[in-house]
Amino acid sequence: MSDINFLSEKYKFWKFFREISEIPRGSGNCERISGYIAEFAGTRDLRYRKDESGNVIIFKPASPDCKTDKKVMLQGHLDMVTVKTDDCKKDFLNEGLDLTVEEGYVKAKGTSLGADNGIGVAYILEVLDDETLTHPGIEAVFTTDEETGMLGADALDTGDLESSFLLNIDSEEEGVFTAGCAGNTFCLINFKPECEKTKANSYKISFNDLTGGHSGVEIGKHRGNAYRLLGRLISQMREVLKDISFVSIDGGGKDNAIAVSCEAVVCTDASEEDFKKAFVSESEKIKEAYALSDPHMRIEYAATDPGNEPLCFTQKDNEKMMSLLTEIPDGVVRMFGENAELVETSLNLGIVEADKDGVKMHICLRSNVEVQREYLKKLLEKQITRLGAQVTFGPETQIWSFRKESVLRDTITDVYARVSGSKATVNVMHAGVECGFFTNKMPGLDAVSFGPEIRDIHTYHERLNIRSAEMYREIIIKTLERLCT
């Protein structure tokens, strides 16, 4: 294991990636990284603008040897999903990441890496910094708060942008070039429960170390969701113990990430012996069912202070809570076609916060088909309202429709084949990328999303393949050269 500094001596983008990683840039905390990008442009005498959302656009004229007047947008987002291990003390609001190199990958100690989308930003900065490259006119667009609804891209004024092509460097699978994406709708469920004091025994139940992952990219892998499995466990235990009521639920997850952990305090009149017997039996069934997708899952319980009289949900509202956890559709809702591998429509319960003061549940709804998204929203609204809770929808991201003919897609996939020696794959992904906003705001824009291999994004296992990252640098440079002819 070593630090990343020695890589910076090889290619300039590694230097920029290291500098980006030293700046706190979780979603909603982009002021400093936006300032860094603006300062980068100013010190190189590049024209730029920075808007109220923190988005930064840098303009670089075409190289003297470029033979086209068509411009290219290079685009990435500045924010990252901040996830850490239970024992990590990192303060994401004020501290950067601790990068390491291990077995051919760049990682961060105890946290997510932010290669989504720090590596894309680093590539763009190298292109802007290097005066020896052959390239068309560049419009480099750095957006904020992509991970929380693509808020920066949504707010961005594209009125002064003239690009014909968009290279969005925000994908994570080597050899795969994305030419369409799903749109997201963020849903909030809430209700105010009635609670009552109890002298019953109370226990804290915790789920930890699930595999998790991106709620679009990995949703089709059917990994366990900690909140949903909590509901399943309690539901199965109630068949034995009859009375189990919630006191609280928490987990601190992200609405666009499959929940890797959560904890709940519950109360029951059952003895600890009976509780333990039911808990062990039912938790083992769950671990067995998810042995392949979540091999490291831990499900544990501990008795809470016997002198405390918690406020537990009344029977009526406990039933409501159980229904919300277990009966709302979860995971894959519909695939593209009978035998297709691509997910078309899905739901992910990313955050649950529940106690005597209120219940809030955050769901990310995704679909590649607009009519399917609208239909599922109506179904959710009917079901949740019937259960006596309320649901609000928004914000939403744009669906990016597949383009049958694409000069950019043909060019970059040919470059990839020549550089890698392998054939490229073109797909439509079940996750949101900012291309949807730009292609809707700029009709006719020819777009592709791509990037080097990044594994386990949005988790503290996230890692960036060094070989792949360096190869994609060459692909970007050669693609820009080809677009100059």
Q: What are the pLDDT digits (tens) for 262-305?
A: 999 999 999 999 999 999 999 999 999 999 999 999 999 999 98
Nearest C-alpha neighbor of 180 from the set 149, 216, 128: 216
- Report if residue 389 sits inside a domain: no
Does pLDDT of 187 surpass 60?
yes
**Domain identity same for 166 and 227:** no
Contact between 134 and 65 (Cβ < 8 Å): yes
Which residue do the tokens 């592709």 mark? 448
Domain count for the chain: 2
Contact between 257 and 350 (Cβ < 8 Å): yes
- Report if residue 382 sits inside a domain: no
**Domain identity same for 276 and 232:** yes
**Domain identity same for 132 and 228:** no
Backbone angles phi, psi at 122, to 5 degrees: -65, -40
Distance, in Å, from the CA atom of 30 to the CA atom of 144, rounded to the nearest integer, reads: 7
Q: Provide the residue type at 305 as one letter.
A: D
Nearest C-alpha neighbor of 465 from the set 105, 180, 191, 214: 105
pTM summary value: 0.73
Backbone angles phi, psi at 69, to 5 degrees: -100, 5
Q: Which residue range forms the structural domain that includes residue 24?
A: 5-181+400-482
Which range among 22-26, 335-339, 419-423 shows the weakest confidence by mean pLDDT?
A: 335-339
**Domain identity same for 136 and 203:** no
Distance, in Å, from the CA atom of 58 to the CA atom of 63, rounded to the nearest integer, reads: 15
| Residue 390 CB coordination number (10 Å) | 12
Distance, in Å, from the CA atom of 209 to the CA atom of 322, rounded to the nearest integer, reads: 23
**Domain identity same for 204 and 325:** yes
**Domain identity same for 45 and 97:** yes
209 pLDDT band, cuts 50/70/90, is very high
**Among candidate residues 326, 357, 388, the one where a domain is terminated:** 357
Mean pLDDT of the residues in the chain:
94
Does pLDDT of 417 surpass 60?
yes
Does pLDDT of 1 surpass 60?
no
Beta bridge partners of 359: 191, 354
- Report if residue 368 sits inside a domain: no
Q: What is the pLDDT of residues 62-80, one digit of tens each?
A: 999 999 999 999 999 999 9
Give the CA count within 13 Å in the CB-facing half-sphere of 41. 21
Distance, in Å, from the CA atom of 46 to the CA atom of 56, rounded to the nearest integer, reads: 12
Six token digits for residue 122: 């680093």
Does pLDDT of 339 surpass 70?
no
Q: How high is the pLDDT of residue 307? A: 67
Beta bridge partners of 262: 207
Q: How high is the pLDDT of residue 4? A: 75
**Domain identity same for 12 and 161:** yes
Q: How high is the pLDDT of residue 371? A: 94
**Domain identity same for 38 and 171:** yes
**Among candidate residues 304, 324, 357, the one where a domain is terminated:** 357
Six token digits for residue 362: 């955050």
Contact between 145 and 434 (Cβ < 8 Å): no
Nearest C-alpha neighbor of 466 from the set 136, 99, 139: 99
**Domain identity same for 195 and 161:** no
- Report if residue 372 sits inside a domain: no
Distance, in Å, from the CA atom of 447 to the CA atom of 170, rounded to the nearest integer, reads: 12
Query: What CATH code is carried by the domain that includes residue 222?
Result: 3.30.70.360
Nearest C-alpha neighbor of 219 from the set 85, 344, 396: 344
- Report if residue 388 sits inside a domain: no
Contact between 429 and 344 (Cβ < 8 Å): no
- Report if residue 37 sits inside a domain: yes
The mean pLDDT value for 349-354 works out to 96
DSSP 3-state assignment of 44? coil
Query: Sign of the CA dihedral 327, 330, 333, 339?
Result: negative
For the CA atoms of 449, 451, 455, 459, what is the dihedral angle to 10 degrees?
-60
Distance, in Å, from the CA atom of 50 to the CA atom of 68, rounded to the nearest integer, reads: 27
Nearest C-alpha neighbor of 317 from the set 200, 205, 190: 190
Under DSSP, the state recorded for 80 is B
**Domain identity same for 88 and 215:** no
Distance, in Å, from the CA atom of 3 to the CA atom of 1, rounded to the nearest integer, reads: 7
The mean pLDDT value for 242-261 works out to 91
Q: What are the angstrom distances between the C-alpha of 370 and each of 85, 274, 376, 377, 404?
A: 37, 49, 10, 11, 19
- Report if residue 379 sits inside a domain: no
Contact between 345 and 366 (Cβ < 8 Å): yes
- Report if residue 90 sits inside a domain: yes
**Among candidate residues 298, 325, 357, the one where a domain is terminated:** 357
DSSP element (H, E) containing 383 = helix 370-386
Query: What CATH code is carried by the domain that includes residue 135?
Result: 3.40.630.10
**Domain identity same for 203 and 173:** no
**Domain identity same for 270 and 312:** yes
Percent of the chain with pLDDT over 90: 86
Q: How high is the pLDDT of residue 394? A: 84
Q: How high is the pLDDT of residue 383? A: 95
Query: Sign of the CA dihedral 364, 368, 374, 376?
Result: negative
